[in-house]
Structure 1
Amino acid sequence: MSENIIKLIKPADIITLINALLGFASVIMIVQGRVDEALVLILLAVIADGADGAFARYTGTGVLGANLDSLADVIAFGVAPATAAFVFLGSPAAWVFSGFFLVCGILRLARFNVAGKKDGFEGIPITAGGFIVALFLLMRDYLRYFEYVFPLLLVLLSLLMVSTIGYPKIKKLSVLAPMGILLAIDIASFYLNYAGIVKLVSLFLFVLAFVYILIPAGRRFYGRSK
């Protein structure tokens, strides 16, 4: 028997919908030419994505939970970063690289919904992929050979999303709290017009995120080469 959809929505689902709205707002900002603001909205979506998971653990999840989360993630960490990437690449190849990132992100989420690992991730989460793209673009002014490095980064993230490399779920508060504080500082600095701090904190967060995705990948590659 069907139920009123409003009755099916749990508190954590509301945060998930906020995540989707942040992604949608990010795309609108890109269309309006306010790209840096769009990138910061992706960072806010990262916080919302983490918050809905934490909230769900305490309040429980409903029948909409997992699928709703994936749909929101496609918008916030697939469509929004891919649209930003398309704008910054600004070449005919932009369709290829940004489209490849989006397709791999969708495939990553579909695989997770079908056979998601409970103790970790298979391939990097799309949240991490979108997060890294946003951070990289926020610090673009300090990067040399941006137009060459960025497409390579998109390809790497895309391949890692659809890879079978195992990644741990980070649940320790000792790790999450400092990351959350840095992310909050990054976002607050942007709205307070402290551009230098935004670039610096974005760089630090980018390095931390890249370490997360490269260490398991490196171990996998090293294990195969033995």
Structure 2
Amino acid sequence: MFKVIYEIRVSDFFTFLNISFGFAGILYLFQDMYIAIQFLFISALMDGVDGFIASKVGESSLGKVLDSLADIVSFGVLPALMLSISGFFTVAIIFLLTGILRLARFSILKRENFVGYPITASALMVASMFYLDFDIIIVAGTALVLSAFMLSDIEYVKIRDKVILFVVAVVIISTFIVRDAAYVIIALTLLYLVSPFPWRLNQWLIERRRRRLFSRRV
């Protein structure tokens, strides 16, 4: 009668926590944005734990769908609402729709790495800017740039290194004690955003050298 329950795995419980904290963030957004942002940060932690466990023990088809649905709420709807109540409804819609498209594409593609900038990282950057009281024009502009990167075909490496994940978790937790720790989140997500470009530049230079050598031989 309740067969779906037997398909739930350990990692899915963290997905449920992800969406629960994301929903709590939506509820608190209209009372205290800073608390709402903290709920988003917790959702990101749960998403990270979920992904780490899934990479070790495997992820079911149900789990993959649940993860995408949770991400839509926590990292799509919640930051979009932040943008909307700040007076940027159009930007909010663009951010939400590109995030959903990014997740939909992720669900149907079977890739080792991400295609398009991850919505979790995008939400963390936008939320951190709100958390640090950045000028709303800068936040909205950043959200538009991130929307383009989420929709792009740029490949991003999935971070599985335990040390890196631990450092990111510590930084996120630190924001509850020292708000300025959110600057580190912005720096890390920005570094991740541009990370594919040095590799692409190197590949382009290698290809250019190869063509020159070939043309000389001919």
Q: Same fold (TM over 0.5)?
A: yes
Matched residue, 1:5? 4
CA distance in 1, matches of 2:48, 2:151: 21
CA distance in 2, matches of 1:126, 1:67: 15
Count of residues paired in the alignment? 206
| TM-score, normalised relative to structure 1 | 0.84
- Return closer, same or farther for 1:59/1:219 CA change in 2, 3 Å cut-off: closer
- Check conservation: 2:124, 2:185, Cα contact below 8 A: no
In the TM superposition, structure 1's runs of 4+ consecutive aligned residues that sit over 3 Å from their partners are 57-60, 217-226
Alpha-carbon shift at residue 134 of structure 1 (Å): 0.9
| 1:35 and 2:15 matched | no
CA distance in 2, matches of 1:57, 1:165: 22
Alpha-carbon shift at residue 167 of structure 1 (Å): 0.8
Give 5+ residue unaligned stretches, structure 2: 209-218
- Check conservation: 1:104, 1:158, Cα contact below 8 A: yes
CA distance in 2, matches of 1:77, 1:217: 25
- Return closer, same or farther for 1:58/1:173 CA change in 2, 3 Å cut-off: closer
Alpha-carbon shift at residue 25 of structure 1 (Å): 0.8
Matched residue, 1:20? 19
- Check conservation: 2:122, 2:146, Cα contact below 8 A: yes
Give 5+ residue unaligned stretches, structure 1: 190-196
- Return closer, same or farther for 1:105/1:6 CA change in 2, 3 Å cut-off: same
Alpha-carbon shift at residue 220 of structure 1 (Å): 4.8
| DSSP-derived class of the 1:117 partner | coil
Alpha-carbon shift at residue 63 of structure 1 (Å): 3.4
Equivalent residue in structure 2 for 1:137, among 127, 130, 133: 130
Matched residue, 1:53? 51
Alpha-carbon shift at residue 62 of structure 1 (Å): 2.9
User: Looking at CA atoms only, which structure, 1 or 2, has the larger radius of gyration?
Assistant: 2
RMSD: 2.1
CA distance in 1, matches of 2:192, 2:61: 31
| DSSP-derived class of the 2:152 partner | coil
Matched residue, 1:101? 95
Q: Partner amino acid for 2:12?
A: D
- Check conservation: 2:83, 2:89, Cα contact below 8 A: no
Matched residue, 2:213? none
- Return closer, same or farther for 1:116/1:166 CA change in 2, 3 Å cut-off: same
TM-superposition CA deviations, 1:123-173 (whole Å, max 9, x none): 111111111111111111xx4xx1321221010010000101111111112
Q: Partner amino acid for 1:134?
A: A
Q: Partner amino acid for 1:117?
A: R
Percent of residue pairs bearing the same amino acid type: 29
